Amino acid sequence: MSEDLFKGPATRPQHWQQSAHLARATWIEPQQLCPPGRRLVVVAPHPDDEVLMCGGLLTSLRGREQDLLLISVTDGEASHPGSEHWTEHRLRRQRPLESRHALHHLGLDVQVLEWQRLSLKDTAVARDEAFLVSHLGHVLEPGDLLLCSWRGDGHADHEAVGRACAQAALANSVDLLEVPVWAWYWAEPEDQRLPWQRACKVALDADALQRKQQAIAAHVSQIEADGERAPVLPAATLECLLQPFELVFR
């Protein structure tokens, strides 16, 4: 992560609720974005990012798992540097298991959907950015909707994935959606660094929101304290990500 962006406390959800930019963002229904027959390709930098970015949208693909390709770029093994409890070895096993449980809470059949795990090195995705672009070039199909982390999100892996997806989307003529995750932490409600002109809010109903909340809760390693260490995912940021919409940049 860019340390300068994370020096202060997380931006509170009530501050975001006063954002004029956020209020002006266009509402869109999940079925409008990804109607039956259109494939959604989700590229998650770490296990849990698929839920944080678009868990609500994913619930709309229940029974349509053939329309979903999930790509987990890393195994998330570097989330707890120096921890004796959450070692890299343990996290490599734990975090994909958490993702599996989370997808179950979203109502998705993990036995049916296509789920690729690339196991690139956590915190060093930029080193393999060209590989990711090439891989996407092989799996993307005409008409796909490609969804990924925003290339300005403040986390090096999120930004590398965003850049790779933007390049692949352009090369393969597919539509791209970028989703902020860590920007909810460091950005201000009227922050001009965010591409508000491309912002849309994907509407989530009560069921989708509840399922997303349960899916986030499955990521125990990320939401519970590690001894004296605070949870990886701050409560205020999670609250922002559990609003009745998912913010995307089209």
Contact partners, residue 133, CB within 8 Å, separation at least 6: 164, 167, 168, 171
Report the chain's C-alpha Rg in angstroms. 17
Q: How many folded domains does the chain comprise?
A: 1
Mean pLDDT of 24-44: 97
Task: Evaluate whether residue 30 is within a structural domain.
Answer: no
Please count the other Cβ atoms lying within 10 Å of the Cβ belonging to residue 9.
Answer: 10
Check pLDDT > 80 for residue 247. Answer: yes
Domain of 74, in residue numbers: 3-24+36-249
Nearest one of 110, 49, 42, 106 to 75, comparing CA atoms: 49
Check pLDDT > 70 for residue 3. Answer: no
State which amino acid sits at residue 1. Answer: M
The pLDDT tens digits for 184-199 are 999 999 999 999 999 9
The pLDDT tens digits for 57-105 are 999 999 999 999 999 999 999 899 988 899 989 999 999 999 999 999 9
pTM: 0.96
**Confidence grade of residue 6 (pLDDT, cut at 50, 70, 90):** confident
The helices-and-strands tally (H runs, E runs) of the chain is 11, 8
In the sheet where 68-74 sits, what is the strand order? 26-28, 199-203, 245-249, 175-179, 145-149, 40-44, 68-74, 114-120
Nearest one of 233, 249, 239, 165 to 209, comparing CA atoms: 239
Please count the other Cβ atoms lying within 10 Å of the Cβ belonging to residue 137.
Answer: 12
Task: Evaluate whether residue 64 is within a structural domain.
Answer: yes
Q: What distance in Å separates the CA atoms of residue 203 and residue 181, rounded to the nearest whole number? A: 17
Check pLDDT > 80 for residue 4. Answer: no
Please count the other Cβ atoms lying within 10 Å of the Cβ belonging to residue 118.
Answer: 15
Mean pLDDT over each residue of the chain, to the nearest integer: 95
Q: What is the pLDDT of residue 80?
A: 93
Task: Evaluate whether residue 29 is within a structural domain.
Answer: no
Check pLDDT > 80 for residue 22. Answer: yes
Check pLDDT > 70 for residue 132. Answer: yes
Mean pLDDT of 21-39: 96
**Confidence grade of residue 176 (pLDDT, cut at 50, 70, 90):** very high
Task: Evaluate whether residue 127 is within a structural domain.
Answer: yes
The pLDDT tens digits for 109-127 are 999 999 999 999 999 999 9
CATH of the domain at 192: 3.40.50.10320
